[in-house]
Amino acid sequence: MAKGVTVWFTGLPCSGKTTIADKVAQILKAQGRKVERLDGDIVRKGLTRDLGFSKEDRDKNIERVTFVAKLLTRNEVIVLATFVSPYIARRQLTREEIGSYMEVYVRCPVEECMKRDVKGMYKKALAGEIKDFTGVDDPYEEPPNPELTVDTHLETLDESVQKVLDEMKKRGYI
């Protein structure tokens, strides 16, 4: 029987959240599962384009996404959500609101994230062109008890993807 879940990928910008979730989505869709992707960059072009990057706006962004993820999850969709979501308290509220929830911490040192920065955002933040950038002048609060941690600086993409799929299977989501 199909069971909805939100798999919430959190981590620094450029840690690998989107890359892993996209591949997980591809595999699950090939198995005939109902899957939706919610990604920070995409959501900010539509649903939350009116928001900036202050702590209040970041929390409002995640609040709106949580609402969408909750609706999809209760309709037996596997939601793969990729958001920096830097604050523990807001992630906890998301967990409580959605219920069927699995947090994946995509861990990667900030120095490695800076090397992967294809959009040049870290460079702009370090130059003072972007304010409140997570990992530079705004903190990222590491999850104290995620259901899964993947270390993208130590694992291949396929290894991280397999860990996510294995954890979802272990928890009865797939």
Closest CA to 164 of 104, 74, 99: 104
Structure tokens at 105: 């911490």
121's CB contacts (< 8 A; 6+ apart) are 13, 14, 130, 133
Residue among 99, 106, 90 at smallest CA distance from 57: 90
Phi/psi at 151 (5° precision): -110, 95
- How far is CA 165 from its chain centroid? 15
Catalytic pick among 15, 54, 85, 100: 85
Q: Which residue has the tokens 């995509």?
A: 106
Residue 136 φ then ψ, to 5°: -115, -70
Burial class (CB in 10 A: 0-12, 13-18, 19+), 136: buried
Do 149 and 107 touch, CB atoms closer than 8 A? yes
100 is catalytic: no
Question: Active-site residue numbers?
Answer: 85
